[in-house]
Structure formats: C-alpha cells, structure tokens
A and B are shown apart, each in its own frame.
Chain A
Amino acid sequence: MIICPNCNHREFVGALFCSECAAKLISTSRLSSAIPEQVLQEEIRNSIYRNRRVNYVGTGSLVLNKTLNLHVMDSDQFFPLKQNSRVILGRIADNQSQIPDIDLSPFHAYAYGVSRLHAEIRYGDDGIVVIDLSSSNGTRINGQLITPHVEYPLTIGDIITLGKFRIQIVQK
C-alpha cells in the first residue's frame, strides 16, 4: 500500500490518484539525473518544517516550485534537490560499477545499514517520490516500510529512513 501524502489514505500500489482526495500520487514529469552539491546553510536549517502539510494549499498537490533539500538528520548536512531531477542515495564502496549520486558514507552510512544503491528520489513538477532499490535493510517513510521498486509519494517534512539512516525532506 502507498499512503497519500495529502490525506493519509491508503491506496493500492499502482494507483495514480488518491481515491479520497484526488491528490496525484505519481511523478509524471521528465527527469534528468543530477548530482547535487553539498551545502551547509544556517538559513536552511532554520527553515525546516517540523509540521507535515504546512505547505499545502488544499488542492492535494504540493506547491513545489521552491528548492527542496535532503537534510541528513542529526547533522548539519543538506543536499539540495533540483526540480525535474532524480538522485540515487547510497554509499560508495570498493569495486562498485554504479555509484550513487549522493554518497552517504561520510555519515557512517555503512554502520547505519545503508546499501550501496539504496533508494532513488525523483522530484518532478508535480511532486516528489521515493523508490527503494531492493536495499538490504529496506526504506521507511515516517516509520513505515515501503515495497521495493514502487514509487511512494512524499511531502515536505517526511522522514525517509534508509536502514537506520534518517533523512528529512525540507524546503528552503
């Protein structure tokens, strides 16, 4: 099941829209792969939305025309997400053919159980989704384990857990 980020209704995997509130549950815009720069900014940290759905306008779709950041929780590290891009989260290890766009190994990712290619985040015009890439220890959204290879819609403030590694979607 996937959970509607707008109204928390549970929908079957593969649903395109939430049957309760009509929010779009998938990303449909063309994305390019982008390697984000690492930034550390006080102003971003101060702008973390602790509260879910702060940025909703009630249409069931996110207002996402601002820069989003992935905040590595319990650290000062932010990775900006560009719109219409997709990034793979993981860690770089020896003898790896495909390397992730964001390497989490400086944050003890191995100890936290992050796989080399753990999850992908897609940020389109119409929303942001996460896909677990068959990671060993799984991916959770706000504590709930997600099924690999299926898009799960996200919203600002959501906490993604890769193994035990926590990342939050924040808005600048």
Chain B
Amino acid sequence: MKRNKYFILGISPSDNAETIRSAYKEAVLRFHPDINPAPESTDEFLEIQAAFEVLNDDEKRAAYDKEINSSSIISPLKIENVYSRNVLPPLDEPQIVYTQLNIRCNIDPNNVKAAPLAISFVIDRSTSMQGERMDKVKSSITSFIQQLGKNDIFSVVAFSDRAEVIIPAMRAGSFGIDDERISMISTKGGTELFHGLAAGIEQLETNLAKDCRKHLLLFTDGQTYGDEERCLELAMQAIEKKIVISAFGLGYEWNDKFLDQLSSLTGSNAEFITSSSDLEKFLNEKLITLGLFFSHSVNFDMTSDEGVELNYAFRIRPDSAELEPKRNICLGNVPFSEQLSVIMEFLVPPISGETPMVRLAHGFITLESPYWEVPIRMFVQLDCPVRYNPEVSYPPAEIVQAMSQLVLYRIQEKARIEVDKGNITAAFKRLQYLASHLMSQGNKDLARIVLREAENIQRNKQFSNDGDKKIKYGTRAFLLPEGKKGIVI
C-alpha cells in the first residue's frame, strides 16, 4: 500500500494549512538528517519533504486532492481531544490543565482478517505456588489453549531461579488433549523473573510466531529479587519486538508496583487475582480482549512549549493503568469496538497576556497494526489559547467524571506512601476521605474495605496482607465503565 501524502504527514484532508505546517515542523524535528542520522529516517524525511511541498501549496494541494479523490480517504483512526478548560487565563503563577485524548478505530473488524495470536505463558514455579494456586494456573492455561484458534501459536515457560521451556512454540491446533507437559510442572526454588521473561520473549521470536500478534502472559505470586532493572530493560526490548506483556499477580505477596510498571511499559497492565477461582475469569476476559484489538502499543511522541510539563498520565479506556509521564509514552491498545482514552495533566508555567497560545503537546501518535499494511502516523496537537474568558465555562462532564475517580486512585497511592513512611495519622485520615467519597459515589463495598483498612493501620501500623492491593485495584477498577469493573472484591 502506497501511503498518501496526508498519511505521511499524519494529517487528514480536512486539516487546514496551519495544521499542515505544524505537523511538518514536528516531523522535521524527528526525521531531519541533522537530528536523526539513521538512514531510514533520511528516506522518510525526503518523503515528508515531498508531501509538504505539495500540501503546503494551495494549487498543488487542490490538484492532488482531485487526483487521489481526497474525500474518499478514510483515516484508520479518529483522534479527538477534550480539555478541562478551553482557554487559559494569563497568570503569573503556574496552573494546570487536563486533557483527555480519545482514539477510536475507523476500521470495521468484519472486513478484515485477523493475524494469528502468539502467546507465551510464563509461569512462576517457585515453592510458594505449590498446591491450589499452581493447579489453578495449570487448568486455566490448558483451557485457554483449547480455546485458541488452531493457527494461533503458544508456548509455555516455567521459571524459578532459572527458566525451563516446558512447551516450545507450537500451533494450538497440534496440542493434544493428552499432552501432560503442563500438568507435570512441579514447584521448586525461588522467583527470578528475568530468566522467565527472557525465555518467554525468545519463544515469541521464533519463526513460527512471525507476523503474529505477540503476547506474553506472566503468572506470579512472589517478588523477584535484584533483577528488576534487568526485567525493565527486557520490557523495553519487548516494545521494539511488538510484544505486549500482561501480568497476573496471585495472592498478596507479589510486587504490584513493579509489575504494573513492567506491563504498562508495553501498553498492558497487571491484574490482581485475589482468589484462584478468579483466574479463569480474568483469563477469559483477556482472551476476548486479545482478539479485539486493532493495534497494540500505540505510542505518543510529543514536544511542548518550554516549561510545560506532563505531570501525570493515566489510561482509563479500554483498561486502566497509570502511564509513565514522559515525552514518548506508550498509551496502550486500540480496540475495534471501544476507544482508547488517556487523561493527561499538564502543568503550565506562568503566562503573560501577550502569549496567544500555549502548546501543551505537539507530536505524533504512531502504531502498527496487523490490519493495516503500513505503519500509521497521526499528528496530534494539544493547544490552549490564552485570554481572559468572561463567560462561564464548565469542564466537560467526561473529564470531571474521570478525574473524580482518578483522584481517589491517587489518594490511595498517597496513603500507601504514608503508611510506608510510618505516617499513620495522615494515612488514616486520607483513607477516611477515600471511604466517604467512595460511599458518596455509590461504591459501598470498596468503601467498607477502605474503612476496615483504616482501622487496621491504626491498630497495626500497616495494611493487612492484601489490603493495600485490594484498595489499589479496587479504585483502579472503579475507573472503568459500568459492567467492565471486573471482579468486585
């Protein structure tokens, strides 16, 4: 498929000349040979240059539009932004503004053929998994494999202090019912995640898994010691290999912060499995969602006005996860049926009355999809005009709604930090705030759990075994729309 000149600049035929120039400017920043010496980027730059020369000239653009019948062009994605405030007043102090970025897929899933899945199950076989936990993981995985399409690829890796490939990558169709390799996995040793991850990723790189949608599903109940940094490096490599890592934490001893960070890097998240019976439910949900994605690992690479900082980023659709607030973030996955939504909080420095506009972020959303032959690039600009606004303006309901729940997630994070630091009084008060807000927003069950934990930390100076995780994943699930809140604890 030859990319048309609009797609090369990441814009659409309806965009005006100013947007075209902004997009070109951003593209130059990324692909100009002086800035990016990679040979591919030079070719890309020449194409960008050629596209800009045509589209920046009204006459040439009109002729080109006619030639390609521009009104018939459908962009694979629809992107819209919502701001908490449409204009910013000039202030001599910093202020914040929230934006919600919504990305929707324009492609009808019925008209395209899905690439097969390649799934690598990476199972923690440390001694603590022994018994019901391990049995449940084994049976859930086996039933998962049986539900895969016959051309889907899977592999199974078990790890303790080192990794063992139990089943090398193979087609799900060739998996026999009498195959006992999964049920024979025994438990022994400690938890060293790095080896398991590395072996799982290796299984996704075999020839068989080429051109598949690659997923690594990690099952663990413990903390990995000392190899966190190396695991994160592996996750960074996984991004380049288009591998999505999802984690399932069993019980309460696993390190949720670390696994959330690790999986969030690749655009997924970690799930908290309170009881073994939930595992199958979560896995089934996962299987459904895996089949429904237009694209994985959607990236947003942006630049901002000087002094503007991205404080916080959080994905609220299709699943919820905290994102690392950096200039190049992995936003997550775009499903066919639903939108990908990310809330971003920008801190704007003092602005004078002469500034016409604050550029929160200009940049490109980039992604690859098994349903689209060429890599997709879309230009996004988040701008806020500056002026005194005498009119009453209200933040859009969807941002207020999302923030009212997101603020609760952030409050529980603060309470956890306070408990870690031994600041029990502050944490107790904060959990009470949290409980009363949950109560007023109608989440009574979670409110009760929070209140119980508040009493618990006052008595024992720490959370109960799984209290902190219950509150964290409870408030996180609360962000999802009705019916998708998952398993209520």
CB contact between B388 and one of A7, A12, A19, A134 (< 8 Å): that residue: A134
Which one, B17-25, B262-270, B426-434, is touching chain A?
B426-434
Q: Name the residue on A nearest B388 (C-beta).
A: A149
B-side interface size class? 35 or more
Query: Does more than half of chain A's interface fall in helix, strand or loop, or is it mixed?
Result: loop
> Does B283 make an interface contact (CB < 8 A)?
no
A residues less than 8 Å from B96 (CB atoms) = 12-15
Q: Name the residue on B nearest A17 (C-beta).
A: B407
A residues less than 8 Å from B410 (CB atoms) = 19
**Contact across chains for A14 and B392 when beta carbons are under 8 A apart:** no
CB distance from B346 to the nearest CB of A (A): 9
In angstroms, Cα B389 to Cα A133, docked, is 10
CB contact between B95 and one of A14, A18, A24 (< 8 Å): that residue: A14
Q: Name the residue on B nearest A149 (C-beta).
A: B89
Number of A-B contacts (CB under 8 A): 89
Given contacts A21-B433, A24-B404, A60-B436, contact A12 B347 (CB under 8 A): yes
State which residues 373-424 of B face A: CB under 8 Å.
388-390, 392, 394-395, 397, 399-400, 403-404, 407-408, 410-411, 414
**Contact across chains for A12 and B407 when beta carbons are under 8 A apart:** no
B residues less than 8 Å from A58 (CB atoms) = 432-433, 436
B residues less than 8 Å from A61 (CB atoms) = 440
**Contact across chains for A12 and B95 when beta carbons are under 8 A apart:** yes
Given contacts A16-B98, A19-B410, A122-B392, contact A28 B399 (CB under 8 A): no
> Does A147 make an interface contact (CB < 8 A)?
yes
**Contact across chains for B91 and A13 when beta carbons are under 8 A apart:** yes
Given contacts A17-B403, A19-B410, A149-B389, contact A12 B89 (CB under 8 A): no
CB contact between B407 and one of A14, A19, A31 (< 8 Å): that residue: A19
CB distance from B427 to the nearest CB of A (A): 12
- Encode contact with A along B89-111: 1 for CB under 8 Å, 0 otherwise: 10111111110000000000000
A-side interface size class? 20 to 34
> Does B84 make an interface contact (CB < 8 A)?
yes
> Does A76 make an interface contact (CB < 8 A)?
no
A residues less than 8 Å from B30 (CB atoms) = none
A residues less than 8 Å from B395 (CB atoms) = 16, 26, 28
- Encode contact with A along B74-98: 1 for CB under 8 Å, 0 otherwise: 0000000000110011011111111
- Encode contact with B along A48-63: 1 for CB under 8 Å, 0 otherwise: 0000000001111100
A residues less than 8 Å from B436 (CB atoms) = 57-60
CB contact between A16 and one of B84, B93, B347 (< 8 Å): that residue: B84
> Does B437 make an interface contact (CB < 8 A)?
yes
B residues less than 8 Å from A22 (CB atoms) = 404, 407-408, 411, 433-434, 437
In angstroms, Cα B90 to Cα A13, docked, is 11
In angstroms, Cα B89 to Cα A149, docked, is 7
A residues less than 8 Å from B400 (CB atoms) = 16, 26, 28
Can you give 11 A-B contacts (C-beta < 8 A)? A12-B94, A13-B91, A13-B96, A14-B98, A15-B96, A16-B84, A16-B98, A26-B400, A31-B392, A58-B436, A86-B392
